[in-house]
């Protein structure tokens, strides 16, 4: 049963039409991510209009590495909590306490990681510290909202996204209207908004998080890591290298100013990238329940609905990008950016996102089936292809061409998960 289905106790008739139920399910689950994406889009728009390319490039680089931290906490802490739904009360409580304590450790590690990476990218100390705090807070907020999903508190998770988005746009808008938008003030607004996003998650989560400091035992996590999350963690690391190799290589080889061009072209495609990252946390538990019930028809239906939702958001995102670049390019472009280059990057990014639309539902189904070791093997090959191709194209033809390496890696993943999915279905028919 989906966490988004209505609670029992209501009269059955009249039942909502299937398409209305589906629209409500995906609309509610994506409203938070879409609001977050919109907030990041407007923040990026303010930054690109008011900051030099180097500082805008650093901000955009943070929007690459922080989601990586969120993916790590999802694979290491959210996944065991989701899988614990099939356990007894005592086992589930022990797993939850251990993962809540691990959340604190991983969020602190994310803070240090973001600061170290920005220091390597030659960011100034004060903005780097604020962006590191932003990364740590956003990482723990991501765990908290996913934890709320698993616990059935979906409205708290959506409220967290909405409050974060409103706080970010409100603070940045006020700073911009006062003509005081700098890299330092902007990074401070990011950190404050991330902290505000924790508030709607409620006292229940705060109490459970505090109790985990004493009650949670990290040694209880050892068997979870051995049996489950080590493969999902490897998969996340390899996927990051496959998907975002260009961001790291271009920033460290050519500088944050060069990455600013790629970031500007990818900016308008952010809604679909965020939805591609958010929907798996909704669909994975639903798919896991269908697999446990041996409901192959239901599993196929969920997979098709998942793909349809991604394609709908991709289409809307492409139309938005076309409208901005054709009729309102002045909103995005300023001195130092060439419209032709931005359009080319946007087209390359749209092609990458389309391939990712088709492989994401397949990969999430395999995750729900526990095929983490096989997925990690796929990640190894795709990572090798993507990083090698990206580096060769970057050094030979420049930053824009490096996106071709990411596209090649996505094609490798798509072909491999499609083959693995057919093998899995053959074994379970």
Nearby residues of 163 by Cβ (< 8 Å), 6 or more positions away = 196, 197, 199, 200
- Predicted pLDDT at 352: 94
Are the C-beta atoms of 409 and 243 separated by less than 8 Å?
yes
Is the pLDDT at 13 greater than 60? The verdict is no
Query: Would residue 5 count as lying in a domain?
Result: no
- Tell me how far CA of residue 156 lies from CA of 138, 201, 360, in angstroms: 16, 5, 26
- The boundaries of the domain holding residue 168 are 18-428
- Tell me how far CA of residue 281 lies from CA of 148, 179, 275, 296, in angstroms: 11, 39, 10, 20
pLDDT level of residue 11 (50, 70, 90 thresholds) = very low
Tokens encoding 37: 């994406």
Tell me: the pLDDT tens digits for 103-154? Answer: 999 999 999 999 999 999 889 999 999 999 999 999 999 999 888 888 878 8
pLDDT level of residue 335 (50, 70, 90 thresholds) = low
H-type helices in 216-295, by residue range? Answer: 221-224, 230-254, 256-267, 270-292
- φ/ψ of residue 8, rounded to 5: -70, 155
Query: Span 376-404, mean pLDDT?
Result: 91
Tell me: the pLDDT tens digits for 160-173? Answer: 999 999 999 999 99
Are the C-beta atoms of 310 and 357 separated by less than 8 Å?
yes
Distance CA 269, CA 271 (A): 6
- Predicted pLDDT at 4: 31
Is-cis flag, bond preceding 160, omega within 30? no
Is the pLDDT at 84 greater than 70? The verdict is yes
pLDDT level of residue 21 (50, 70, 90 thresholds) = low
Q: Please state the length of the chain.
A: 429
- Predicted pLDDT at 80: 87
Q: Which of 305, 307, 320, 236 is nearest to 271 (CA)?
A: 320
- What is the pLDDT of the chain when averaged over all its residues? 85
Distance CA 368, CA 370 (A): 5
- φ/ψ of residue 94, rounded to 5: -65, -45
Is the pLDDT at 26 greater than 70? The verdict is no
Distance CA 80, CA 165 (A): 28
Query: Would residue 291 count as lying in a domain?
Result: yes
Lowest mean pLDDT among 52-61, 66-75, 82-91, 385-394: 82-91
Query: Would residue 24 count as lying in a domain?
Result: yes
- Predicted pLDDT at 186: 95
The DSSP bridge partners found for residue 176 are none
Taking each helix axis from N to C end, the angle separating 270-292 and 125-150, rounded to the nearest 10 degrees, works out to 30
H-type helices in 51-153, by residue range? Answer: 53-73, 79-83, 89-120, 125-150
| Number of domains comprising the chain | 1
Query: Would residue 391 count as lying in a domain?
Result: yes
pLDDT level of residue 31 (50, 70, 90 thresholds) = low
Is the pLDDT at 25 greater than 90? The verdict is no
Residue with the bigger pLDDT between 389 and 20: it is 389
Query: Would residue 12 count as lying in a domain?
Result: no
Rg (CA), the chain: 21
Query: Span 331-338, mean pLDDT?
Result: 71
Tokens encoding 343: 């359009």
Lowest mean pLDDT among 75-84, 193-202, 237-246, 274-283: 274-283
Is the pLDDT at 7 greater than 60? The verdict is no
Is the pLDDT at 5 greater than 60? The verdict is no
- Predicted pLDDT at 374: 87
- Predicted pLDDT at 22: 56
Tell me the whole-structure pTM to 2 decimals: 0.78
Tracing tokens 């950190």 back to the chain, one arrives at 191
pLDDT level of residue 344 (50, 70, 90 thresholds) = very high
Query: Would residue 131 count as lying in a domain?
Result: yes
């Amino acid at each position: 049963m989906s966490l988004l289905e209505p609670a029992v106790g209501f009269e059955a008739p009249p039942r909502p039409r299937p398409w209305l139920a589906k629209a409500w399910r995906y609309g509610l689950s994506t409203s938070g991510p879409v609001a977050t994406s919109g907030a990041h889009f407007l923040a990026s728009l303010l930054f690109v209009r008011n900051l030099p390319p180097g500082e805008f490039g650093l901000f955009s680089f943070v929007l690459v590495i922080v989601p990586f931290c969120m993916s790590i906490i999802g694979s290491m802490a959210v996944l065991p909590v989701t899988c614990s739904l099939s356990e007894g009360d005592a086992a589930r409580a022990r797993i939850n306490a251990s993962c809540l304590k691990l959340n604190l450790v991983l969020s602190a590690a994310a803070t240090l990681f973001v600061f170290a990476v920005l220091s390597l990218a030659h960011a100034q100390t004060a903005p780097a510290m604020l962006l590191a705090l932003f990364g740590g807070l956003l990482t723990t907020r991501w765990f908290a909202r996913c934890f709320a999903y698993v616990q059935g508190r979906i409205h708290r998770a959506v409220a967290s996204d909405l409050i974060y988005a409103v706080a970010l746009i409100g603070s940045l808008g006020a700073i911009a209207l006062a003509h005081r938008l700098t890299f330092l003030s902007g990074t401070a607004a990011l950190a404050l908004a991330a902290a505000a996003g924790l508030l709607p998650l409620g006292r229940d989560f705060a109490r459970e998080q505090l109790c985990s400091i004493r009650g949670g035992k990290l040694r209880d996590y050892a068997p979870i890591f051995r049996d489950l999350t080590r493969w999902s963690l490897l998969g996340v690391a390899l996927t990051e290298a496959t998907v975002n190799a260009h961001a790291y290589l271009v920033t460290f080889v050519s500088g944050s100013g060069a990455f600013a061009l790629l970031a500007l072209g990818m900016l308008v495609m952010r809604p679909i990238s965020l939805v591609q990252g958010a929907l798996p946390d909704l669909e994975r538990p639903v798919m896991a329940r269908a697999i446990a019930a041996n409901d192959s028809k239901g599993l196929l239906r969920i997979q098709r609905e998942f793909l349809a939702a991604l394609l709908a958001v991709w289409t809307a995102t492409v139309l938005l990008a076309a409208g901005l670049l054709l009729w309102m390019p002045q909103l995005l472009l300023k001195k130092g950016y060439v419209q032709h280059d931005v359009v080319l990057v946007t087209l390359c990014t749209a092609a990458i996102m389309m391939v990712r639309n088709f492989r994401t539902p397949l990969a999430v189904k395999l995750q729900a089936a526990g095929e983490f070791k096989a997925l990690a093997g796929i990640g190894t090959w795709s990572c090798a292809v993507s990083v090698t191709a990206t580096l060769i194209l970057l050094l030979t033809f420049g930053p824009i061409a490096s996106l071709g390496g990411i596209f090649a890696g996505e094609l490798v993943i798509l072909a491999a998960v499609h083959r693995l999915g057919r093998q899995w279905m053959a074994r379970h028919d």
